[in-house]
Structure 1
């Protein structure tokens, strides 16, 4: 960065989508694979194709309460002229694999929903269509082969492809994997993210005059962990070029390096110069608000995200740039944010050509949802985002959004 850069500031700002694409172009999956027990696999990313080694269910089963029969023995049965079958089997006929669960010609065995279909049976007559008479069963319904039967593999077929590489596992996925007999799964290791807070004014507690409690590094580290990373939350590094360079170089063995603070163009904003010295600055200055002084680059093959020091700007940029790059090095893509549809109760102002992230709080009144922009909107007001329910994104091509307009509120903090 030249001295002119300090004096002139940002003449050109990169569009958000272009900046993100540039950063992701410098990120590659780390490729480290481990096999983990299913109980520990939640939120991990599948590294290899996963196929079912066994079908689910593993046997033909009754889909209704009733009697298991040979379909051919019910042909001709009707309400006026039932077919009479001999009741066979005992408790074992109602359990998967029972030794006495068998149906021969002219026989019927009592089954419950989910019971294994007895050997020899190929259909089930519903309980409403039969009448027990002594040791016999009168069936008033002619059933076809396979009727009221759930075949083996109805849920999952043996050899069925369940998941492709890049899929992030959820609790329901773990249940499915366990149901087919798997006890472990190959996944990508969680990416390592080094979080380096910077600023000579920062302290961890008990601030004196001119000092500020460090919050950005803690916030970003915990956000990265929600996004599937393991983090190194480093001590604060002062605004000294040599110290900053040593801190960045120390953590280039991580999958992603993220710094907080010192990313703008002031005399004490040294991080872009440090990044330019140890690697390459790809983007400096993005057309978004709050937080345009973000700096993105790469050093020794490691993506580096330099976040602004104002807390809200730091969070906005972390969600826009750190979240997708963490997913990329983990071998997947960040999922879209869940949204809520709401009616805006006050106008949101924005600058044409800049993507604006307006913090809002949601309120419910019957079936109507209202989004109210937070009164405290400065990029240094941490409570304005911590107490918000989400944000409304005003695209670059719009000059604000009027009150009364329906908007999508991104519930960004609910996402992984």
Structure 2
């Protein structure tokens, strides 16, 4: 394999190639519903009960016969006798959720009544049959399909599962993502001694692991692998039981960038270099049916690769639906320059309702992301944006 990038692939083409080999996992597990928020159902949920299972008052007030309130108003109230049971011209005090007394078919709200004696109640509004009454199964009927397989469970959905008396739910398992940091220059962040000249604290793995978990995966993190083809090959082979592999570093054209060559021997390369700035050295591959992302070692370039490829791949593996990104449009405070022929990710700081460019280059400056509120994407055929022009900003997660 040549050490040079022979032909860079447009980002949208690289994404299409990569996502074609990503297949949702087919494993499921049964969990207590308290642990299911943010998980995806692996089967339909059908209710075996009615909700509510009894006729109940939907408001605080008085249960009565609706027909006996005909003509009632504030200027012409109708008197009812408060009782424990329903009889002609009687009413029963009820609260929201109270069983509706036998013989009653409506509830007049407490605001539309006034007690004029200890057992006499003025009703000052007419009600219709079934008004302010929840019927059996009004919310959910026995046998009703409550959620389809593939539904992303939210906290409110968990409450619904509890209301139909479910204690567990069958959900798709989270995909397993293996993360392999490579590089002779890397040292573990746990090491007590400060880094010496030529040594770099390994942080890409931490960023990658936290994003992978945020996007719906569980992670296996390898120890730092030296720039040695045999060691890289062994690390990949040891992680083929996972659903996706992410290699951090070793993807460029240096003498020690062995990862693409090793992967080509073990599987197939889909893309070797993309038209993105930062992010150009990104390599995408497949090894024994597993999608493999080789992200650049420079942290900002790695961040871009994660956003472009790891995020949609993990969500697809996990059966998670695509969600729109949080975006906003603001005028530019300063001009942004970009590189023609490359999809450019310009980091943006929002100040006084305007967008100030932080930088478009500097793939190694991780703090440029933390100083930003998001980024704007400049198309390949555009040579930057002028000051004052409106740009769309993808807000940082």
Aligned to 2:290: 302
Shift of the 337–37 alpha-carbon distance from structure 1 to 2, 3 Å rule, reads same
- TM-score, normalisation: structure 2: 0.91
Q: Which residue of 1 is the match for residue 102 of structure 2?
A: 119
**Residues 1:354 and 2:337 are matched in the alignment:** no
Q: Deviations over 1:102-150 (max 9, x none)?
A: 4233321112344332232111223343333432333233321122334
The answer to whether structure 1 residue 322 and structure 2 residue 306 are counterparts is: no
Partner of 2:261: 273
CA distance in 2, matches of 1:60, 1:347: 66
Q: Give unpaired runs (5+ residues) of structure 1.
A: 90-101
Q: Could you tell me which runs of 5 or more consecutive residues in structure 2 were left unpaired when the two chains were aligned.
A: none
Q: 1:153 to 1:351 in 2, by over 3 A?
A: farther
Instruction: Report the alpha carbon displacement of residue 231 of structure 1 after superposing the two structures with TM.
Output: 0.8
Q: Tell me, what secondary structure is at the counterpart of 1:306?
A: strand
Q: Does 1:401 align with 2:389?
A: no
Q: SS at the partner of 1:45?
A: coil
TM-superposed CA distance for 1:294, in Å, is 0.7
Return the alpha-carbon distance in structure 1 between the equivalents of residues 298 and 273 of structure 2: 15
Q: 1:198 aligns with which of 171, 182, 196?
A: 182
1:216 aligns with 2:204: yes
Q: Any conservation in 2 of the 1:74–1:139 contact (CA below 8 Å)? A: yes
Structure 1 residue 305: Cα displacement: 0.6
Contact 1:15 1:287 in 2 (8 A): yes
8 Å contact kept, 1:337–1:412:
no
2:20 alignment partner in structure 1: 25
SS of residue paired to 2:80: strand
Matched, 1:146 2:130: yes
In the TM superposition, residue 48 of structure 1 has moved relative to its aligned partner by 1.3
CA 53–346 in structure 1, closer or farther in 2 if over 3 Å, else same: farther
Aligned residues between the structures: 392
Q: Of 37, 41, 51, which aligns to 2:36?
A: 41
1:56, distance to aligned residue in structure 2 (A): 3.8
Distance in 2, matches of 1:13 and 1:228, equals 30
- When residues 233 and 251 of structure 1 are mapped into structure 2, their CA distance, relative to the original with a 3 A threshold, is same
CA RMSD of aligned residues (A): 2.2
Offset at residue 42 of structure 1 (A): 2.4
Task: State the shift of 1:218 in Å.
Answer: 1.7
- CA distance in 1 between partners of 2:142 and 2:350 (Å): 47
Q: TM-score, normalised on structure 1?
A: 0.87
Contact 1:391/1:411 (CA < 8 Å) preserved in 2?
A: yes
Shift of 1:153: 4.0
Paired residue secondary structure (1:243): helix
**Which 10-residue stretch deviates more, 20-29 or 309-318?**
20-29
How far off its partner does 1:376 sit?
Answer: 8.1
What residue is the counterpart of 1:96 in the other structure? none
Q: Helix, strand or coil for the counterpart of 1:168?
A: coil
CA 1:151–1:358 in structure 2 vs 1: closer, same or farther (change >3 Å)?
A: farther
